[in-house]
Amino acid sequence: MATEAPPPKNGTETDSGPGRPTTEHFVEVQKSPEFGELRRTYRSFAFPLTVAFIAWYLLYVLLSNYAGGFMGIKLLGNINVALVLGLGQFATTFLIAWFYSRHAAERLDPRAEAIKSRMEGDA
């Protein structure tokens, strides 16, 4: 005999079964100083780096549009400033991704895991 699966949740119900925090618990944790510190740590890394990268990208675009003479300067053979700066865009993208991965592994993930473990343990 087949057993019936429970009906799907409609998003308004809360399930406080084993290991599942309630909505109130999520709100409580969100207001905690520990969660606030986690968010501050993330924001203090992500926002400045995002602004710096966007500024770097816009500088490249503006130079490409308005400083054609500068961007056309040959550095080595057929390699010019535009090519070097364009490849620099790719390099900085990968560098930022690597840097963020290290930052998250060292500073964000342990704090997030501690919060998650505490929430699951309290539920």
d(CA 51, CA 23): 34
- Confirm if 63 and 70 have CB atoms less than 8 A apart: yes
Phi, psi of 68 (to 5 degrees): -60, -35
Q: Is residue 122's pLDDT more than 90? A: no
Would residue 51 count as lying in a domain? yes
Write down the pLDDT at residue 21: 76
Nearest alpha-carbon partner for 33 in 41, 24, 45: 41
Please, what is the average pLDDT of the chain?
87
Reported as a single tens digit per residue, the pLDDT across 1-52 is: 555 555 545 444 445 455 677 888 888 888 999 999 999 999 999 999 999 9
Write down the pLDDT at residue 12: 46
**Predicted structure pTM score:** 0.70
Would residue 45 count as lying in a domain? yes
Longest dimension (CA), the chain: 79
Would residue 8 count as lying in a domain? no
- The number of folded domains in the chain is 1
Reported as a single tens digit per residue, the pLDDT across 50-59 is: 999 999 999 9
Would residue 96 count as lying in a domain? yes
Q: Which two tokens stand for residue 65?
A: 């549009």
Reported as a single tens digit per residue, the pLDDT across 74-113 is: 999 999 999 999 999 999 999 999 999 999 999 999 999 9
Write down the pLDDT at residue 13: 47
Q: Which domain holds residue 113?
A: 23-122
Per DSSP, helices labelled H in 67-80 are 68-71
Write down the pLDDT at residue 121: 80
Q: Which two tokens stand for residue 34?
A: 């520990």
Question: What's the pLDDT band for 70 if we cut at 50, 70, 90?
Answer: very high
d(CA 9, CA 26): 18
Would residue 107 count as lying in a domain? yes
Would residue 9 count as lying in a domain? no
